[in-house]
Structure 1
Amino acid sequence: MVRRLRSVELDFAESAPVRLAFTARLSARPDAVFRALADEVAATPVWFSSVMAARPLDGGAGREVRLRGGVFFRETIMAREPGARYAYRIDETNVPGVRAMLEDWRLGPAGEGTTVRWTMAADGSAPFRLTMRWARPGVGRSFEDAMRNLDRVLSPTPTL
């Protein structure tokens, strides 16, 4: 069943009842990480194994993402700051109990690489909020794996 979620703004990343935030350091530069997140949407499954398919919508103003297990999201891009920030609001999903959701990717220089901070902000029914908090370790592992994979994808191949 498709659910239409409440529209939220960027500040929801700081005020949501449930916030899962994770940080990783990549050797790739912020501009390359940003391109992978925002411009090469269809390639997301290559490095984020929980994503089965992803495609841009509305000329890049939105996205549709399908996760393993049958979950889908239809999203609106809320912030697109090359090399610095990429955020999107989930407008529709088949996840039960969710009322509002936003994901915010913040990028910053870290030496020759990038610090990536990903915040998943959500609101929903009491069982949904409890499930999200309970899922934190698994979501964190998924993020860490994705960032390792992305770093490998973005690392230049040594020449002989």
Structure 2
Amino acid sequence: MARRLRPVELDFLDTAPLQLVFAAELSAAPKAVYEALADDVSGWRTWFTAVSEATPTHGGAGRDVRLKGGVFFGETILATDPDERYAYRVDRTNAPGLHALLEEWRLTPAGNGTRVQWTFAADAPAPVRALMRLGKSGPGASFRSAMRHLDRRLTESR
């Protein structure tokens, strides 16, 4: 059953008790990466293998995301800075232990491509935060795999 998390704003990126940051370089241009992140929400399942379904909600101001394994996130989009940043907070989830969660995708030009930085900012009880830090290699591997798939998808569609 989904439960509500504490609503946070973009400043939570700087104050969250837990911040996990992952980065990768893609050969695709920032515009193409941004469009895949922000404009083609339902397409996430084709390149982010942990995602089984992603649906825009509230006229594009939110998203519902389901991960393989059954975890659900109801999200509100907080930042849509074309070709630069896409950020959202989780309002509802069935994931245990979380009090607040915000994710930010930062895009910066890198050579002929894009540097993608994904920040996962969370508040949870200390034992949950410790487990998340210890287990950060899981989301890190998932992110790197997703970026390889996304880059392949974007470069093949050129």
Indicate whether the TM-score tops 0.5: yes
What is the CA-CA distance between 1:87 and the residue it aligns to? 0.1
**SS of 1:10's equivalent?**
coil
What is the CA-CA distance between 1:126 and the residue it aligns to? 2.3
Q: Report the Cα distance in structure 2 between the residues aligned to 1:129 and 1:16, rounded to whole angstroms.
A: 11
**SS of 1:155's equivalent?**
helix
Q: Report the Cα distance in structure 2 between the residues aligned to 1:14 and 1:2, rounded to whole angstroms.
A: 26
Moved over 4 A (4+): none
What is the CA-CA distance between 1:156 and the residue it aligns to? 3.4
Task: Indicate conservation of the 8 Å contact 1:85/1:104, yes or no.
Answer: yes
Pairs aligned (count): 158
Name the residue aligned to 1:156.
Answer: 156
Name the residue aligned to 1:55.
Answer: 55
What is the CA-CA distance between 1:129 and the residue it aligns to? 1.0
What is the CA-CA distance between 1:146 and the residue it aligns to? 0.3
Q: Between the two proteins, what is the percent identity of the paired residues?
A: 58
Residue 120 (structure 1) aligned with residue 120 (structure 2): yes
> Aligned AA for 2:101?
M
How big is each residue's C-alpha offset from its partner over 1:23-54, in whole Å with a ceiling of 9 and x where there is no partner? Answer: 10000000000000000000101100000000
Q: What does 1:8-157 align with in structure 2 at a 5 Å threshold?
A: 8-156=8-156
TM-score by length of 2: 0.97
Q: Quick check: 7-16 or 127-136, which moved more?
A: 127-136
**SS of 1:98's equivalent?**
coil
> Aligned AA for 1:113?
G
Closer, same or farther in 2 for the Cα pair 1:8/1:149, shift >3 Å? same
RMSD: 1.1
> Aligned AA for 1:13?
L
Q: Report the Cα distance in structure 2 between the residues aligned to 1:39 and 1:155, rounded to whole angstroms.
A: 17
Q: Report the Cα distance in structure 2 between the residues aligned to 1:92 and 1:68, rounded to whole angstroms.
A: 17
How big is each residue's C-alpha offset from its partner over 1:53-97, in whole Å with a ceiling of 9 and x where there is no partner? Answer: 000001100000000111000000000001000000000000111
Task: Indicate conservation of the 8 Å contact 1:96/1:128, yes or no.
Answer: no
Q: Which runs of 5+ in 1 are unaligned?
A: none
TM-score by length of 1: 0.96
Q: Report the Cα distance in structure 2 between the residues aligned to 1:72 and 1:128, rounded to whole angstroms.
A: 18
What is the CA-CA distance between 1:131 and the residue it aligns to? 2.0
How big is each residue's C-alpha offset from its partner over 1:121-156, in whole Å with a ceiling of 9 and x where there is no partner? Answer: 000122321221122111111100000000000003
